[in-house]
Amino acid sequence: MNKNSFTYKKSGVDINAADKFIKFISNISSRKKGKKKNKNIGGFGSLSNLPTNLKNPKLVACTDGVGTKIEIANKLNKFNTIGIDLVAMSVNDLIVQGAKPLFFLDYISINKIDLVKLKLIIKGIVNGCRQSNCELVGGETAEMPGTYEKGKFDIAGFAVGVVDEKKILTKNKIKLNDLVLAIPSNGLHSNGYSLIRYLLDKNKIDIKKNKFLKSELLKPTKIYVKEVLELINKNLINSCANITGGGLADNIKRVIPKNLVAEINLSQIKTNKIFKWLKGNHISEKEMLKTFNCGVGFCLIVSPKNFEKTKKIFSKKFKPYIIGRISSGKNKIKLNGSINWN
């Protein structure tokens, strides 16, 4: 070949490296015990089996990313957990409507294919899929020279689940005097990282030299699929909410029907060390509640008679506790009191 000729590789796109990555994904995603799966990785489209035991199945779809948490991963050169975050952000939304996750697809765009980095990300995605009992069926890896700076990348995910129509969690299942339960988060999860990075930059904090922040900032998002689906199968919950961007107020009110209000007692919230640290760095409580989960990763709305049974489904670390009650009113959400930040 003429050394002066133009090639895709010279432009910054290495198809051979991409092929090696696809082969790796195919190998790692197929290591699963149980029923034989469809061969999906590397094909044009992905096949998945629908459950045969549902009378009137409905598909539920969600998509999300992990925001600028990827910048923290780049800073700490640690990429084995953000894949878990990516899966969690979508499957934790699916279960809000009662859906069981079926399959997941990922999208990774990167300046230049880095097999070491990408393999760690995919391992995290596969880990998240296994925690959710769903299948990684495909995705897209886009090498985009000139679009991203050296070493930079972005990831997004797409999940599909299924629910029998009679099991869909709708607003009309919520009743007066139902309890609002908080399930603890595993830290920050995947929201508020632009504010965190702004704070770190303004205070000139090097997270590489801060043992506490190194241990907190990349903790993976808790996946609540197993426990919540068990609650749904046992008819123990009336509704639920995934606490992500917008915090408690914005997410809980999305599932509350007209003429009812979720009254939340903020003093009951058991917050985590990282949120106390953030609050102590000149972030108001109003901003904390609007930006972060503040220690509450997921909320359940249950009848008082089901509270004790609900608690038994969870491990000690993620045991639900009461933070509020459903009353009559028009504003859907009311926050009372203040979180104990000490």
Domains: count for the chain: 2
Assign 3-class secondary structure to 243-260: CCCCHHHHHHHHHCCCCE
Per-residue pLDDT tens over the stretch 106-132: 999 998 888 899 999 999 999 999 999
Q: How far is CA 205 from CA 29, 217, 222, 247, 291, in A?
A: 38, 13, 27, 25, 21
Would you list the DSSP string of 281-325?
TT--HHHHHHHS-TTEEEEEEE-GGGHHHHHTTS-GGG--EEEEE
Provide the residue count of the chain: 342
Phi, then psi, of 328 in degrees rounded to 5: -85, 150
Asked if residue 109 belongs to a domain, the reply is yes
193 located within any domain: no
Domain range for 297 is: 171-186+222-336
Residues 182 and 287 grouped into a single domain: yes
* pTM of this structure: 0.91
- Mean pLDDT, the chain, rounded, equals 91
Task: Mark whether 67 and 154 lie in a shared domain.
Answer: yes
The closest alpha carbon to 128, from 75, 186, 167, belongs to: 186
Read off the pLDDT of residues 215-243 as tens digits, 9 standing for 90 and up. Answer: 999 999 999 999 999 999 999 999 999 99
Is residue 2 domain-resident?
no
Query: 59 and 134, same structural domain?
Result: yes
Please check whether residue 210 lies inside any domain of the structure. Answer: no
Contact 275/192 with Cβ under 8 angstroms? no
Distances, alpha carbon 31 to alpha carbons 34, 136, 219, in Å: 10, 11, 25
Do 74 and 98 sit in the same domain of this protein?
Answer: yes
Q: Is residue 154 part of a domain?
A: yes
**Interatomic CA distance for residues 152 and 131, integer angstroms:** 28
Q: Is residue 330 part of a domain?
A: yes
For β-strands 260-265 and 321-328, DSSP reports them as antiparallel
Q: What is the pLDDT of residues 164-191, one digit of tens each?
A: 999 999 999 999 999 999 999 999 999 9
* Residue 95 pLDDT greater than 50, yes or no: yes
- Sheet containing 260-265: which strands, arranged edge to edge? 239-242, 296-302, 179-184, 321-328, 260-265, 332-336
